[in-house]
Amino acid sequence: MVAPTKIIAGLGLSLGIDILLAPGATGDYRTLLTSKATAIAKALSVPLQTPPFIFVPGEDEHRPGRAQGYDFGFLHIKAIDDAGHDKASILKVKALEAVDRAIGQLARLLWQAEKTDNFQYYLCVTGDHSTPVEYVNHSFEPVPFALCQLRDFVRSVGESNINNVSLEPFPLPSVNAGEDLTDIIKETQEVNKDLKAFNGDSVCQFGEIAVARGCLGRFLGSEMMGVIKKFIKMKNE
């Protein structure tokens, strides 16, 4: 797990999950998302014995996980929630775009490993709750959930586009004085015109409203790992 936010790391530790170090990842607005993507991709693509990046001081010989490496990685991003608490609409939109970019970087790193070392990856994107700017606090409606085989993701986006994703670390965007949300919304609507669903169902946007039409329907958080495992099993049949 990569989670600079201590409460999340604590939850992970209490479940016996290793917490990986990601230099420059802070759990706030100064975070380097690229560093998180890199740490997770490394952990999922090299055998456990080699890397010095595991954070379990003095307990290395009792390190949990499979002898040949990890089969599950968890990358937590906090900044979006902070922007909701801070009532920072524009920052929230820009930070979400930065997350999109980091997912692209993660996809590229994992795809490299899949091609060279014969790994097979699945990506799942979700959240633990919404933090609407209007409400300034956590809300309790169902959250979006997306799941795919990396191979399908690469096929839908285009392999040359994935290979062309820059792996340069980038800061979270800042908001300039006078920036207006309506301009950003217009740009987004322009981009959204070209969106296409490629697999599974007709949903092509990641949001509370759009995913209500999703083929998975509504399920409990406690059922999530079961849904993921079943999907992987189905894909391998």
Footprint of ligand NAG on this chain (CB under 6 A)?
A: 136-137, 160-161, 164
Which residue's CB is nearer to ligand NAG, number 81 or number 114? 81
Nearest residue to 130 (alpha-carbon basis) of 118, 122, 138: 138
Sign of CA dihedral 13, 18, 24, 27: negative
Smallest distance from ligand NAG to CB 100, Å: 15
Nearest residue to 15 (alpha-carbon basis) of 65, 66, 69, 59: 65
> HSE of 231 in the Cβ direction (CA atoms, 13 Å)?
19
Smallest distance from ligand NAG to CB 101, Å: 12
Tokens of 88: 């920072």
Which residue's CB is nearer to ligand NAG, number 136 or number 195? 136
Which residue's CB is nearer to ligand NAG, number 50 or number 140? 140
Smallest distance from ligand NAG to CB 20, Å: 29
b/e sequence 41-79, b meaning 16+ C-beta within 10 Å: bbbbbbebeeeeebeeeeeeeeeeeeeebbeebbbbbbb
Which residue's CB is nearer to ligand NAG, number 84 or number 144? 84
Smallest distance from ligand NAG to CB 95, Å: 19
Distance between CA 31 and CA 102 in Å, rounded? 12
Which residue's CB is nearer to ligand NAG, number 164 or number 199? 164
As a dihedral over the C-alpha atoms of residue 61, residue 65, residue 66, residue 67, rounded to 10 degrees, the angle is -20
Which residue's CB is nearer to ligand NAG, number 101 or number 151? 101
Smallest distance from ligand NAG to CB 160, Å: 5
Which residue's CB is nearer to ligand NAG, number 168 or number 180? 168
Smallest distance from ligand NAG to CB 164, Å: 4
Smallest distance from ligand NAG to CB 192, Å: 21
Taking a C-beta distance cutoff of 8 angstroms, is the pair 99, 80 a contact?
yes
Distance between CA 54 and CA 150 in Å, rounded? 25
